[in-house]
Structure 1
Amino acid sequence: MRDAQERLCQLCARAAAQVEEECTQLLHSSERRSADDLSGCGHALVSLLAEQASQLARAYRTELAGPTSEQSPSAEHQLILRRLDDIISIAYAKFYAFIFKDLPACWRQLYTDASILKFCLLVYERISSHRDRRRVTTSDDQGVLDKLIRCLDLALILAGAAGEYRGRAWIDRAFGLLQQWWDAAQISEESFDLPERPAKRPRWDEDTDGSLHPQFTGKSSFSRSEPFTPPVQHPIKRVSSMSMEDFQGHMKHVSKAVPGPEPVILTDVPDDWPARTTRPWQNPDYLLSQTFNGRRLVPVEVGRSYVDEGWGQKLVTFNELLESYVDLSRPSSDPGSTKNPNDEPPPIVYLAQHPLFTQLPGLRNDIMIPDHCYTSPPPHPTDSSIDQPELDEPLLNAWFGPPGTITPLHTDPYHNLLVQVVGRKYVRLYSPLETQRMQARGKEDGVEMGNTSLLDVGVMEGWDRICQDHDQVVQDQEAAEKMRQAFKHVPFVDCILEPGDTLYIPIGWWHYVRGLSVSFSVSFWWN
């Protein structure tokens, strides 16, 4: 425990000293080094950040030189904490003043550096209070670990962990040392200053045959229950063991009926992924072990579909996502809570299109980029303006949620391999030739929605009740019936993705995706 604590202490000390040095250089420089460095935030904010970093660096130098018997100046630290929170709030306010892609990097770096300093201060406070037991109270102890984790996760999720010298690499390192510190506290006689120590993190050890097995009581898996399963009417071709050469040939083949390549299901792409074998994502206990016992924050969508009225977004802990929304059959980790089967069902909550694997590198190690992503796909078959600059690496996103999640009919700006790791999904696709009949939305409230259809597949097919947004589009039943009849004549292909299936979605194809059971998918965009 002491080793991990000392290394985390040293990491924090270096970060505080680096921020102080960088800010001091900017304050005394007559020229800006870059349009996006911290100087873009203004002299006053850089000076304020430098002052907090200086005080924190001084405190760490004293700590590393050897703790004294004097009590730490808690009031001074609380003032530093308030100043850092002020800086974080100012930086975050700028996030709303720009479209995120146009947000100057200086504000994201300011948010990240202030969050890192806040984390370092909380670590220092924890070490100090642990050393001076008289200063420890129940209120001090409550939720200390959650505060540390939340501080860094917000920098990752909201600010993208910006910064050339610290940023994501520093945060990943800090999380690793924090995990080691916490794990050591679980098996030592010293607590982490929490009133109740949660269950030990499951250990994953290597067996003699090279496989991994969990060291916890009772293996578990997600429910496979499917409240509703749509019929497959026009099945997509399924192929096993398709080589890169064959896949390249498939993309070059053009039929008379459809411009460009057609969708195809590859049945064995992730067969050797740890996520499907030795570190199974089907096991919720494994996922909890990779998310700091479920404490890590993740962004989720709340509502049936992102085009429905009342749809929103929020941040939840992974454990809350799991227990309260994804798999209600799981027993609660809170011994004081009970689940009443007569309670109103929770809203649909979906971890959708999130770069989870940059936030949680441990899960990234459980998957591999399919070789098929290193082929040369054709451009958009009907509209070259949609083609994007060539990517250096595929874009990876996670999709994790309960039965009933819906991604409405839309198109992607890249070719897509959708890999089904856990559970089943229904997918329906329409050719680029049907774009005019898809009734694209256009701009809504200043947001470009031209890649999303007005047509709600679930409502058109009678699977779902009409939502308010759809009522606004279709004013009367007669018009609604005409629209349904016209929609039924639009040709499509569809499928149910089983665990281990990979669906190739060519650029330009409209697709609707519906989670049938608890489901975990990974999408790979490439061009």
Structure 2
Amino acid sequence: GPALPPRALPAPSRAVPHLHCPSLQHFRDNYLIPQRPVVLEGVMDHWPCMKKWSVDYFWEVAGCRTVPVELGARYTDEEWSQQLMTVSDFISQYIMAENNIGYLAQHQLFDQIPELKEDITIPDYCCLGEGEEDDITINAWFGPGGTISPLHQDPQQNFLAQVFGRKYIRLYSPQDSENLYPHESQILHNTSQVDVEDPDLVKFPNFTKAAFQSCILMPGQILFIPVKYWHYVRSLELSFSVSFWWS
């Protein structure tokens, strides 16, 4: 009979590969240069944050600091907003109260609170990039279960390091961009219109053509997200992650 068109069936999901402390050269040749996602294990085992960080510890070292907090399950929601509040208010209103969804997501946290920066280490693999160490952006992501980062892409390579809690993550190649229906607007052109876990296939029929990889990122694991790779992230429980953006 006639050959089926390629990928007529829903594209398969594949697990992201895992590697234990690969050498710089192995990581470069097999993941960085070909731009393939990978979960790195054993790299952050010795970071002090793995033993020290907890809700109580943040309250203690950062409670009185004022930080921007994102309110709402995801930044594409109508009711999403940003508000300044102290870390202790954020913890009592959003971490302890189960019904409110709010996310502390920001890069000034480590500049404001040097104690926290001493608890993490920039992964050695970042030295394979063109930039200097000062060019690396370090972001904190702290929030309850249920927070979602909609499917989006970033302009730099990303290491997402999981300190506590677990995150469900889905990854789509930039080659599939046209099947992911990016927003038309300039401000959201790096974000997909599709709700990944409940897609409207009448509105976005080609979404089923896009192959994806997925993983549950566990504490102590670092996910390499290549530049412009589309990623969707849902916190499964109270979670703290650190991301390193590098070029």
**Same fold per TM (> 0.5)?**
yes
Number of the residue aligned with 1:452: 191
Q: Which residue type is aligned with residue 57 of structure 2? A: Y
1:284 aligns with 2:4: no
Number of the residue aligned with 1:506: 226
* Aligned residues of 2:104 and 2:143 also touching (Cα < 8 A): yes
Given candidates 403, 406, 411, the residue that maps to 2:148 is: 406
Given candidates 369, 374, 379, the residue that maps to 2:127 is: 374
1:296 aligns with 2:35: no
Structure with the largest fraction of helix: 1
**What displacement does 1:484 show?**
5.9
**What displacement does 1:424 show?**
0.4
Number of the residue aligned with 1:429: 171
Q: Which residue type is aligned with residue 65 of structure 2? A: R
**What displacement does 1:326 show?**
1.4
Q: Tell me, in whole angstroms, the C-alpha distance in 2 between the residues paired with 1:416 and 1:304.
A: 22
**What displacement does 1:370 show?**
0.7
CA deviations on 1:114-150 (whole Å, 9 max, x unpaired) are xxxxxxxxxxxxxxxxxxxxxxxxxxxxxxxxxxxxx
Number of the residue aligned with 1:73: none
Given candidates 294, 319, 323, the residue that maps to 2:92 is: 323
Tell me, what secondary structure is at the counterpart of 1:482?
coil
Q: Which residue type is aligned with residue 364 of structure 1? A: K
Q: Which residue type is aligned with residue 496 of structure 1? A: I
Q: Which residue type is aligned with residue 457 of structure 1? A: V
Q: Tell me, in whole angstroms, the C-alpha distance in 1 between the residues paired with 2:32 and 2:123.
A: 19
Q: Tell me, in whole angstroms, the C-alpha distance in 2 between the residues paired with 1:305 and 1:490.
A: 22
Q: Tell me, in whole angstroms, the C-alpha distance in 1 between the residues paired with 2:160 and 2:32.
A: 20
**What displacement does 1:308 show?**
0.8
With normalisation by structure 1, the TM-score equals 0.43
Tell me, what secondary structure is at the counterpart of 1:398?
strand
User: What's the Cα RMSD here?
Assistant: 1.9
Count of paired positions: 235
Q: Which residue type is aligned with residue 270 of structure 1? A: M
**What displacement does 1:485 show?**
5.2
Q: Tell me, in whole angstroms, the C-alpha distance in 1 between the residues paired with 2:37 and 2:135.
A: 22
* Aligned residues of 1:248 and 1:376 also touching (Cα < 8 A): no
Number of the residue aligned with 2:26: 246
* Aligned residues of 2:31 and 2:38 also touching (Cα < 8 A): no
* 5+ residue gaps, structure 2: 1-11
Number of the residue aligned with 1:134: none
Number of the residue aligned with 1:25: none
Which structure would you say has the larger RCO, counting Cα contacts within 8 Å and 6 or more residues apart?
A: 2
Kindly tell me: are residues 234 and 327 of structure 1, through their superposed partners in 2, closer, same or farther at Cα, counting changes over 3 Å? Answer: farther
Given candidates 148, 160, 183, the residue that maps to 1:418 is: 160
* 5+ residue gaps, structure 1: 1-231, 254-259, 330-344, 378-389, 461-479
CA deviations on 1:76-106 (whole Å, 9 max, x unpaired) are xxxxxxxxxxxxxxxxxxxxxxxxxxxxxxx
Given candidates 359, 370, 373, the residue that maps to 2:112 is: 359
Q: Tell me, in whole angstroms, the C-alpha distance in 1 between the residues paired with 2:64 and 2:89.
A: 9
Number of the residue aligned with 2:41: 267
Q: Tell me, in whole angstroms, the C-alpha distance in 2 between the residues paired with 1:442 and 1:489.
A: 20
Q: Tell me, in whole angstroms, the C-alpha distance in 2 between the residues paired with 1:270 and 1:481.
A: 40
Kindly tell me: are residues 455 and 285 of structure 1, through their superposed partners in 2, closer, same or farther at Cα, counting changes over 3 Å? Answer: same
Q: Tell me, in whole angstroms, the C-alpha distance in 2 between the residues paired with 1:442 and 1:310.
A: 20
Range with greater deviation from structure 2 (484-493 or 239-248)? 484-493
Q: Tell me, in whole angstroms, the C-alpha distance in 2 between the residues paired with 1:325 and 1:263.
A: 32
Tell me, what secondary structure is at the counterpart of 2:94?
helix
What are the residue-to-residue correspondences of 1:145-184 with 2, within 5 Å?
A: none
Q: Tell me, in whole angstroms, the C-alpha distance in 2 between the residues paired with 1:394 and 1:354.
A: 11
* Aligned residues of 1:237 and 1:264 also touching (Cα < 8 A): yes
Tell me, what secondary structure is at the counterpart of 2:111?
helix
**What displacement does 1:245 show?**
1.9
Q: Tell me, in whole angstroms, the C-alpha distance in 1 between the residues paired with 2:108 and 2:198.
A: 30
Structure with the largest fraction of strand: 2
Q: Which residue type is aligned with residue 504 of structure 1? A: F
* Aligned residues of 1:412 and 1:507 also touching (Cα < 8 A): yes
**What displacement does 1:233 show?**
4.5
**What displacement does 1:289 show?**
1.7
* Aligned residues of 2:146 and 2:237 also touching (Cα < 8 A): yes
Number of the residue aligned with 2:103: 350
What are the residue-to-residue correspondences of 1:94-133 with 2, within 5 Å?
A: none
Q: % of aligned pairs identical? A: 43
Q: Tell me, in whole angstroms, the C-alpha distance in 1 between the residues paired with 2:204 and 2:228.
A: 23
**What displacement does 1:504 show?**
0.2
Q: Tell me, in whole angstroms, the C-alpha distance in 2 between the residues paired with 1:426 and 1:313.
A: 24
Q: Tell me, in whole angstroms, the C-alpha distance in 1 between the residues paired with 2:75 and 2:96.
A: 21
**What displacement does 1:448 show?**
2.0
Kindly tell me: are residues 354 and 327 of structure 1, through their superposed partners in 2, closer, same or farther at Cα, counting changes over 3 Å? Answer: farther
CA deviations on 1:7-62 (whole Å, 9 max, x unpaired) are xxxxxxxxxxxxxxxxxxxxxxxxxxxxxxxxxxxxxxxxxxxxxxxxxxxxxxxx
Kindly tell me: are residues 455 and 481 of structure 1, through their superposed partners in 2, closer, same or farther at Cα, counting changes over 3 Å? Answer: closer
What are the residue-to-residue correspondences of 1:133-148 with 2, within 5 Å?
A: none
Number of the residue aligned with 1:53: none
Q: Which residue type is aligned with residue 400 of structure 1? A: F
* Aligned residues of 2:179 and 2:209 also touching (Cα < 8 A): no
